Amino acid sequence: DPTFLGLIIVFGLLLSINRFIDSREKKYLLITVFLLVSLAFTYSRASYLAFLGGIFVIAFTEKKFRKMMVLAIALLVFALLLPTARNHSIELTRSFSIIARLDNYKETVEVFKKFPVFGVGFNNLCIARNKYIGMESFTSHACSGSDSSLLLILATTGTIGLMVFAGSILGVFKSLTENREAQTVIAVSMALFIHSLFSNSLFFPWVMGYVVILLAVSVTK
């Protein structure tokens, strides 16, 4: 899936950028260029936005706004110059996927409104949609998921669950020490947060594994 692959590439980009800033080794610069081109070829706008959010964090912490702006412009240029062969599914200005996501958001919010405190429960979203929305309203979407990880948490665990989740995340950030790995964790977290608004990437196993390993390295150091 290019959307999830794009996010994994973004993680690699943010890590290689931080490594280059720290060591100034040319190999990390070459890796950054390679991954930047690879990211452009995913045609994933959510991943593009995630990358922009991640490098904003790096630019803010390192005070390197001009250099990070160069990377952002480079990605934009690559994305605009990519061949599409008149394939509407990979055009940068495609709108059908936006409309589908908005419909999915609306359905998930409707389920949340039925059980705003504790939600419908884990793995019950499909049953709730079938009961309160109807099959005809979501035949083109994944029944048990949502295009937004945060909305999925809200619909399945309610306001209480979202508060517990947010509190857990804040606790993790408080445990970080001031080092290069911690900056990478923050940049990756920003990218993941932005990406999870458009896809259920927060609970994708490969994404979770990457973040957990990176977090463990940061806390250890």
What's the chain look like in SS3? Answer: CHHHHHHHHHHHHHHHHHHHHHHCCHHHHHHHHHHHHHHHCCCCHHHHHHHHHHHHHHHHHHCCHHHHHHHHHHHHHHHHHCCCCCCHHHCCCCCHHHHHHHHHHHHHHHHHHHCCCCCCCCCCHHHHHHHHCCHHHCCCCCCCCCCCHHHHHHHHHHHHHHHHHHHHHHHHHHCCCCCHHHHHHHHHHHHHHHHHCCCCHHHCHHHHHHHHHHHHHHHHC
- Does 113 have pLDDT greater than 90? yes
Q: What is the pLDDT of residues 153-212, one digit of tens each?
A: 999 999 999 999 999 999 888 887 777 788 889 999 999 999 999 999 999 999 999 998
Q: What is the pLDDT of residues 9-21, one digit of tens each?
A: 999 999 999 999 8
**What average pLDDT does the segment 1-7 reach?**
92
**What average pLDDT does the segment 68-76 reach?**
87
Give residue 140's pLDDT: 46
- Mean per-residue pLDDT over the chain, rounded: 87
Sorting pLDDT into bands at 50, 70 and 90, what band is 84?
Answer: confident
Give residue 180's pLDDT: 74
Sorting pLDDT into bands at 50, 70 and 90, what band is 129?
Answer: confident
